[in-house]
Structure 1
Amino acid sequence: MVECVVKDWEGQETGTASLELKVASEENAAHIVHRALVRQLGNARQGNASTKTRAEVRGGGRKPWRQKGTGRARAGSNRSPLWRGGGVIFGPKPRDYSVSMNRKERRLALRTAFYSRSEDWVVVEDFGDKLPQPKTKDLLNAIARWGISVDAKILLIVSERNENVYLSARNVPNLRMISASNLNIHDLLTADRLLVTSSALQKIQEVYGD
């Protein structure tokens, strides 16, 4: 179980929150998280890179010059991989990069990754009502009051999307906002700090606390 301090909009401590999730054992944690990360990055690849072999390149049917007597190296086609405009040797072809992983393993990896970042959590009260209209400057000031550098790569986790919070956050280049039910390994591992609302923490416990 992890106990963490909850801060209000002004940055003052107002209480504590706890989270208890089943995570992978210490000797298996790095392996299963790595597998989940490789799976996510692989599944995101389109895999549509394609080059033509010498058989697929247009032209090259006629022998460029006779076999002997010219003093030049023998050549059978001007679409040889050795020629400019020729085919490509061992070039990429369309392929599927997707990796399969059991659902239970994926969820275990996600819980383990989130739990491992507990020292980087900043838990705050829901602040949607503090932004009656979209205001990026007000959100940045609040982030600074919560003790997070505005230059850090921040992952904002909310229970459900609030339009004013979203519009205030989208102009910050190093801030990414996701909902608690859509967590993913890559965002959890690449962020410098995790800014989590108290309701999002409860939702994570409900969704992933199996």
Structure 2
Amino acid sequence: MNDVPVNPNNMVETSDSLEAVGVFRAWKNIFFAIVLICLLLTQAAFWAVDLGFIEAPGTVKPADAALGSTDAAAATAAVEPNDKGLVQGLVGEFDFDLVARVIGVASGILIVSGILFALAVFFCLMVSLVGRLGGINHISRAFILGLIMAALIIPWQRLFGSNVVGVAYGADELLRWLDAKGEGLPNVIFYYLRFTALWVVVLLLLIMSQVRSSGWSKSILRRLEII
């Protein structure tokens, strides 16, 4: 049924609907790019701290722990000028405070852009329904995927504690999980599930939603016999 050409008498309404589709689709693509960049930034910050490229406050290096408190202080003072890590050596002064600011800004933008992405897909769905443009299967699936993605981004842990978490996080939360990481294998598993596995799920939902919405655009053009 979706392959039947649109009635010529309705081309004016269809043209208006297509203009609205163009606007919402453009903003959807912009929000997609912003969400993707913020996801990459938060994950890069996590691995920079987790792998020790950025030294987190309160962490103790194994070599320092073996030397003891007195010898460790002397050793730290001796190597401090050159002990900057890989990232610091490449970009200069790149400490945990800077990473914390990057995490905060990226997480904040991620929350807003993720919600706006889902809203843009929703408006595309509404325009497609009102204008009877077709491709409802694709855009409906894209909206559901985008809605789930936005729900998983929101930092629910700020409201409900650590029992319910979202992809967005703060530097203070990362430090708490780092401390709990050394308390046993279960904590290590939950640590990587929280910061890596959940991130992968959100990334896949974002990509699948974008792919579905692209299929919706092609379906509209095919139905209108533009391509």
TM-score under structure 2 normalisation?
0.30
Q: Looking at CA atoms only, which structure, 1 or 2, has the larger radius of gyration?
A: 1
The structure in which a higher percent of residues are helix is: 2
TM-score under structure 1 normalisation?
0.32
